Structure 1
């Protein structure tokens, strides 16, 4: 069972940019769905947009990992989970991870055939990814 990524951001452009960057880095092997902004195009998050991305990600029996930018993205994501069936919710995880680094590491692990738990752990390892060597 493959793992798709759902990128939740307050900015539609940011979510699309993270999805684009991450998708190019893994040669499109992993389904990456942006769910950014509100339904009227403003900054914010939308549980229905996140829910629609999750439905797409879960189609065909796949699993999904949600990566989020800021705290209220978590609230909207958990609300979106309420609209799924219990069986669908069992195939979704939320990552406590930095958005860009977490998405990159998660996509790499997912492309390697990692389980949902392994993909989540990889994303959460993004906290340790150093940009500048000491």
Structure 2
């Protein structure tokens, strides 16, 4: 089962930028769906738009990992999950991970055929990813 990534941000440009970065680094092997901003294009999150991304990610029988930027992105994501069937919900997880590093590590794991649990665990390892070494 392939794992898609859903990038939920308060900013459409931020979500699109993370999706672009991750997509180029994994050569398009993993579906990365950006969901940023509200329905009217302002800063915020949209339960409706998150739900649409979930439908797209789950349509082919795959799984989805949601990565979020700030607290209310979590609230909107969990609300969107309430509209899924139990079978669909079983194929979605939320990652407690930094957005950029988590998305990068998750995409790498997903491209290698990782399970949803493995992809989430990889994303969450991003919390310990050093930016400066030496």
Q: TM-score band (shorter)? A: over 0.9
TM-score, with structure 1 as normaliser: 0.99
Matching residue of 1:133: 133
In the alignment, the residues of structure 2 paired with residue 12 and residue 88 of structure 1 have an alpha-carbon distance, to the nearest angstrom, of 25
Deviations 1:40-89 (A, max 9, x none): 00000000000000100001100000000000000000000011111100
Matching residue of 1:111: 111
Q: Secondary structure at the match of 1:77?
A: helix
Alignment of 1:33-44 (within 5 A): 33-44=33-44
> After the TM superposition, which parts of structure 1 deviate over 6 Å for at least 4 consecutive aligned residues?
none
In the alignment, the residues of structure 2 paired with residue 121 and residue 60 of structure 1 have an alpha-carbon distance, to the nearest angstrom, of 23
Matching residue of 1:120: 120
TM-score, with structure 2 as normaliser: 0.99
In the alignment, the residues of structure 2 paired with residue 90 and residue 98 of structure 1 have an alpha-carbon distance, to the nearest angstrom, of 23
Matching residue of 1:91: 91
Unmatched segments (≥5 aa) in structure 2:
none
Following superposition, the deviation at residue 10 of structure 1 comes to 0.1
Matching residue of 2:101: 101
Following superposition, the deviation at residue 117 of structure 1 comes to 0.2
Following superposition, the deviation at residue 124 of structure 1 comes to 0.1
Matching residue of 1:48: 48
Unmatched segments (≥5 aa) in structure 1:
none
The Cα RMSD (Å) is 0.5
In the alignment, the residues of structure 2 paired with residue 108 and residue 59 of structure 1 have an alpha-carbon distance, to the nearest angstrom, of 22
In the alignment, the residues of structure 2 paired with residue 81 and residue 37 of structure 1 have an alpha-carbon distance, to the nearest angstrom, of 18
In the alignment, the residues of structure 1 paired with residue 54 and residue 7 of structure 2 have an alpha-carbon distance, to the nearest angstrom, of 10
